[in-house]
């Protein structure tokens, strides 16, 4: 397609990546982000395989490698803090529970934004309120009241995208029965540069990860059949977490103390997005808004980077948007399908409820810990399964 105008909604990972490539193809690109400024929050995310190659092609790989969290590997511990298994960090594009390119989400987002800011217009503090399309374009009404017509609109608004329902009402959320609360806590002298994952039983887990700004990124996992805990107000969520982790020693008390002290945190009810199609006419979705695989897959950011690049190449290389969007979906569906096919029992297996399950998982970790980390497959998530290097990126800009 020759030069076109496009509105991308969402300025995290998928949005700016798509914007970068379409601007490079000569398109006129606007990105709207509902928050007032670029979001800095987020914990350690990995970039693997094909997504590393996307950063490389953008000339951003070295900057990303220079901004990694410094995590040296992953250690699993039992409720008493005894080591169960240890894995060193990956040393290539794909391997290891701790990837070679492990970076704070906010840092990667800022790199992508900065690489595009000169060629793309960013509109912060606004969002799509209405979409109307005809054969020639999409009329967008923004919440601010502004109106503008674009040739195409792409939603990169994450798993809880609101605009998606305007065009793709059949999107379905598939809950995994697991909540994760994320927060940042002060680093202590006895903290290490490893990802420490405490397997504590009762369908719970506690993770402590280093970052490159002198704090610790903590998260607690809670398996639960009750939906809607994420909709409680802050004090309600803190009460739930305090009760759920009251008997957990080692890492939990400092996490609970930070919550009580008012540390900002985010409670997520993990859910995958299932959409029968990723576009309707001239409006498409990309990244978590299209196919969220959840952090348990360990591949969400890899999919977002690879998917945004693929969509851009397919649009730039196609004769019209119908062909481009169809080719994007044809290429990405199998990769996304594999990423969403979590191994049986995931994430229950890694957050065992019963004493027996906890013992069995600990024993399995000891065995697996003695073999190459890749043998873990996706059982624990974050291990690069499906192998992110098995997705073949299309050529730029022909999409061959
Ligand atoms: C603040 C934040 C923190 C995160 N922390 C982690 C983490 O710790 N670990 C992890 O594995 N993953 C985390 N993620 C998710 C991770 O970024 C994604 O799984 C993955 O990178 C795919 O990115 P995405 O760009 O598709 O979607 P997201 O990263 O979810 O980004 C969506 C963007 O769209 C914006 N947005 C949402 N609705 C609208 C709207 N209506 N109009 C305009 N803009 C909108 C959001 O503010 C956000 O900037 C986080 C995401 C965010 C936004």
- With contact defined as beta carbons under 8 Å apart, do 219 and 235 qualify? no
Indicate which residue's Cα is closest to atom 38 of ligand 1. 157
Contacts of 112 (CB under 8 A, 6+ apart): 13, 16, 17, 20, 60
> Helix 321-340 vs helix 300-317: angle between axes, to the nearest 10 degrees?
160
Q: Whats the size of the chain, residue-wise?
A: 400
Q: Is 35 in the pocket of ligand 1 (CB under 6 A)?
A: yes
* pLDDT tens string 298-336: 999 999 999 999 999 999 999 999 999 999 999 999 999
Q: Is 168 in the pocket of ligand 1 (CB under 6 A)?
A: no
Q: Is 156 in the pocket of ligand 1 (CB under 6 A)?
A: yes
* pLDDT tens string 134-173: 999 999 999 999 999 999 999 999 999 999 999 999 999 9
The whole-number pLDDT of residue 388 equals 83
What is the rounded distance in angstroms from the CA atom of residue 335 to the CA atom of residue 122? 30
What is the rounded distance in angstroms from the CA atom of residue 295 to the CA atom of residue 274? 16
Q: Is 14 in the pocket of ligand 1 (CB under 6 A)?
A: yes
The whole-number pLDDT of residue 379 equals 45
CA of 190 to the centre of ligand 1 (A): 32
Whether residue 61 is predicted with pLDDT greater than 80 in this model: the reply is yes
What is the rounded distance in angstroms from the CA atom of residue 132 to the CA atom of residue 109? 30
Whether residue 3 is predicted with pLDDT greater than 70 in this model: the reply is no
Taken in order of first residue, the domains within the chain and their CATH numbers are: 5-69+105-172+274-343 (3.50.50.60)
Contacts of 283 (CB under 8 A, 6+ apart): 131, 133, 138, 152, 153, 154, 155, 166, 167
Q: Ligand 1: which atom is nearest the Cα of residue 40?
A: 1
What percent of the chain is predicted at pLDDT more than 90? 88
Whether residue 373 is predicted with pLDDT greater than 70 in this model: the reply is no
CA of 372 to the centre of ligand 1 (A): 32
Q: Residue 177's beta-bridge partner residues?
A: none
Mean pLDDT of 67-86: 94
Average pLDDT value for the chain: 93
Whether residue 54 is predicted with pLDDT greater than 80 in this model: the reply is yes
CA of 17 to the centre of ligand 1 (A): 13
Mean pLDDT of 34-42: 96
The whole-number pLDDT of residue 371 equals 63
């Amino acid at each position: 397609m020759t030069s076109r105008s496009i509105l991308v909604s969402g300025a995290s990972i998928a949005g700016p990546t798509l914007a970068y490539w379409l601007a490079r193809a000569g398109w006129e690109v606007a990105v709207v982000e509902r928050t007032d400024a670029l979001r800095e929050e987020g914990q350690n995310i990995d970039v693997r395989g094909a997504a590393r190659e996307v950063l490389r092609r953008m000339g951003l790989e070295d900057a990303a490698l220079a901004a990694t969290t410094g995590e040296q590997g992953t250690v699993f511990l039992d409720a008493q803090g005894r080591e169960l298994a240890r894995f060193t960090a990956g040393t290539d594009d794909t391997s290891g529970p701790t990837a070679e390119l492990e970076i704070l989400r906010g840092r990667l987002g800022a790199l992508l934004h900065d690489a595009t800011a000169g060629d793309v217009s960013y509109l912060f503090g606004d969002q799509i309120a209405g979409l109307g399309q005809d054969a020639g374009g999409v009329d967008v009404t923004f919440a601010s009241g502004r109106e503008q017509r674009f040739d195409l609109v792409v939603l990169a608004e994450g798993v809880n995208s609101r605009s998606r329902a305007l065009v793709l009402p059949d999107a379905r959320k598939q809950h995994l029965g697991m909540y994760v609360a994320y927060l940042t806590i002060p680093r202590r002298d006895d903290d290490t540069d490893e990802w420490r994952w405490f397997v504590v039983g009762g369908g719970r887990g506690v993770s402590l990860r280093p970052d490159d700004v002198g704090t610790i990124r903590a998260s607690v996992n809670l398996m639960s059949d009750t939906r809607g805990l994420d909709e409680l107000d802050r004090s309600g969520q803190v009460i739930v977490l305090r009760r759920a982790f009251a008997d957990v020693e080692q890492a939990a008390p400092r996490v609970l103390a930070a919550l009580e002290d008012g540390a900002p945190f985010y409670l997520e009810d993990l859910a995958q997005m299932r959409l029968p199609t990723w576009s309707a006419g001239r409006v498409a979705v990309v990244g978590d808004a299209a196919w969220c695989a959840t952090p348990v897959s360990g591949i969400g950011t890899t999919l977002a980077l690879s998917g945004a690049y693929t969509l851009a190449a397919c649009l730039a290389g196609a004769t019209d948007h119908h062909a481009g969007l169809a080719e994007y979906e044809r290429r990405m569906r199998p990769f996304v399908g594999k990423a969403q096919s979590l191994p049986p029992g995931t994430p229950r297996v890694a957050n065992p409820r019963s004493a027996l399950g906890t013992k069995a998982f600990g024993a399995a970790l000891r065995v697996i810990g003695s073999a190459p980390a890749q043998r873990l497959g996706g059982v624990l998530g974050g291990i690069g399964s499906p192998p992110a290097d098995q997705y073949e990126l299309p050529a730029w800009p022909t999409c061959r």
